[in-house]
Structure 1
Amino acid sequence: MYECFINNIHLLFLPPHTSHVLQPLDQSVFGTLKTAYGKQLGYHSHWDCSTVIGKRYFIICYSKARQAALTKQNIISGWKYTGLWPKNMSRPLLNPLLRENTTTPAKQSEEVPKGVSHADASIILASQSSAVLWSTPRRRDELRDHFTLYNKLDGDVTTRRLLFQKVAKGWDEKDHQLAVAQRKIEALEAEVAVTRARKRKKVKMSPNSKFADIVAIRRAQIDAGDVDDDSDKSGDPDYPRDDASCIIVVVE
C-alpha cells in the first residue's frame, strides 16, 4: 500500500462478489474487447492456436482489439456507469441485477373464501352438513366428551370427518403455542449470552480505511523501528516514480 501511495497510485477495495455491478472493466471495457477480438478472428477463418502461425494471429488480433476497446471514452464510461466517479450511489442500487423480481403473484383459488385458509374452509363446508356442531377441543376432558358423543352416533361420514378436523385444529394450536414459547426461550437465552463477559474478538480493519491512514501507519512503523526510513529513496533514479495519476481497483 505504501509503495502505491508514494507513486500516486490510489487503491480502491470493492466489496466481495460485486464485480458484476461495481467493476468498471466489467461494465465497459471487457465487453467491447470481446466484441472487437471476435471481429478480428472472423477475418481469419482457418487458424489453430497451437501452431506458431496461430499464436502469431492471436497476438495480432488481440493487439488490434485492445486498441479498439481500451479507449479513454470506454474507460470513463465504465466508471460513470458503476457510479464510482462521478459518485452516484443510485446507479449500482438501481442495477437490474440487484432489483427484485417484480412478477405478479399467482391468483388465489376462487374456491377458497377471501381471508380464509384451506383448512378453515374445509371445516366450514363440513360443519354445514354435519349432524353435530363440533367445537375445537382445547382440553383433555373436552376431547373425551367429543369421543363419548361420537360413539353414540351412527358414524356419519361427514360428522366423523368434521370431528377429526376439529381435533387436528386443536393439535395445531397447541403446536403453535409451543413454538412461540420456544422462540421466547431462545430469545431470552440469547440475551443472557450477550450480557455474559466474553473474550473480545479482533476487529478486521477495512482495506480502504487502512490505505487512507497509510501515512500515519508508516510513520508509526518507522518510529517503532519495525521498518527503515526510506523517505530519501525518492531521489534514487532506480526507485520507481510516476507523477501521473492511476487508479487500481481490487476486488476481494
Structure 2
Amino acid sequence: MVQADLGCPVSHQQVRHFANQIAIRNGFPEGVGKRWLQSFMDRNKEVKTLPGKSMDSDRYNGASTELIKAFFMLLSMPAVRIVKQKNRYNVDEVGMMEGIGLNGLFLGCKDKKSVLIRQPGSRSWITILECISATGKVLRPLVIFKGKTVQQQHFPEKLDFLEDWEFTCSEKGWTNNHMALIWLKTVFIPSTKPENPKEPRLLILDGHGSHMTEDFLFECYNNNIFVLFLPAHASHVLQPLDVAVFGPLKRAYRKFLSDLASVADSSHIGKITFLYTYDKARKEAITKLNALAGWKATGLWPVNLAKVLMNPMVTQPPKTPAPVVTAISPAKGKNSRLLMTPRSSVQLRRALQAVPGVVSEDPAVRLLFRKIGSQLDSHNFETERQRREITIMQLEKEEYLPKKRKKVIYNGNAEFAKVPAILKAREQMRKVLQPQRTSYRIKKLKLEDLCTQFHLNIH
C-alpha cells in the first residue's frame, strides 16, 4: 500500500515474483502455490485489486507539497496579491489529432480472423493555444497546423464561425518562440487590456522554453504583466486549463468525431472537419463554468493552498524508513544440520529440532528462536526489496544517461493568418484557375469542331 501511495503500485505478477523470491530464500525452492495470491488477499483485507491510471513519472514527482508551497509563496507576494480577479489569466496549449483511432469488436465473415477498418482521416497533429481568466473570460484561440504555410484549402467555404480565430503553421505542429511572442502581442495584450492602464495583469503558464525568452518577458514587463511559471511537471494539479477544461474538451471532441464516423464511416476527416468538430467541442467545454471550476480546484482563485494540497495527486514528503535490524546467527552445534548457518525461519526450526530434547522443549528457548526466525525472514524480505531497488535504479540510470540530441528547426512566420487573409488567398487562387479553365474549354471546343469536320469529310 505504501508503494501504491508512492505512485509505483505492484501488479499481481510482481507480487507473485516477489513472494517466490522470498520463498526460495526461506528454503522453498518450488516457490508459492497457484492460489497464494488469493490467500494473501484473504488474509489482508485492507489490500484489494484496483484499476491503474497512468501518469508520467516526472509529473507525479513534480506535484510535491514542497514545490506547491513554494509556488504559493510567490502568489502571496504583495505585488501579485493586488492583481484583481479579472486580470488573472492562464494560458496553455492542447494537442489534437485530426482523425481518431478505431478498435474493438466488429461484425464480419466468420471465416476471417480479423477485419480491416478504414480510419476516418489522418493522424496529423494540431496544437491550439487557449487562454482563460479567473472570471471565466475566454480569449480567441490560436490554431497551429503542421506545415510551412497556411493553405486556403484547409478551410470550409463558410468562415463565419472562425471570424476571430488565429491560424499559423510550424514544422512540427507545435508552438515556438516566435509564435509565443506574436500571440502575446496580437492576442493577449489587446484582448486583456484593463480599463485602468495602471492595473497589473497576471499571466500563469508552464515553463515551456517558448515562454521564457527574453523578448517574451521584456514585452510582459513593458505592459505591466506579471509572469508566473508553474512548477515543472505540476500542471495537472495547478493549471486551471489542465484540471477542468482540457479534459471535457478532449472528450467532447472525441464524441463529436466518433458521431461523425458512425454516420459516415468512409468520410475523410481532414482539417475542414477538424475545425467544425473542434468548434463544437470548444463551445461545449471551454465555458465560464468550467473555467471558474479550474481556478477554484487549483486553489489559484480564490487563493487557497489547502485546496490544492488535498488533491490526491499531490505527493507527500517521503517518510524516513526504519533501520534494518540484522538477524543474529545461532551458535553451531555438533549435529551436521547445525553446521550450516540458518538463513530463514524454516531452516532455524529444522536446526532446533536437531538440538537435544531438553533444550528444544524449553519455552524460553523456543520463544527466543521464534524471534530470531522472524528477524531472519524480515532480513530476507529487506534484502530482496533492496535488490529490486538496485535493479530499478540501474535501469533508471541507463535511461537518464546523456544521449545525442538533434535540434528541432522551427519555421518562423511573420504573422498569424486570419479569415480575411484566407479569403484573399482563396480569391487569388480562383483568379489564377479561371483563365486556365477558360483556355481549356476553348481548346476542347476547337478539338470537337475539328473532329466534327473530319467526320463530315469522310462521309
* TM-score relative to the length of structure 2: 0.23
Instruction: Considering fraction of residues, name the structure with more helix.
Output: 1
* TM-score relative to the length of structure 1: 0.39
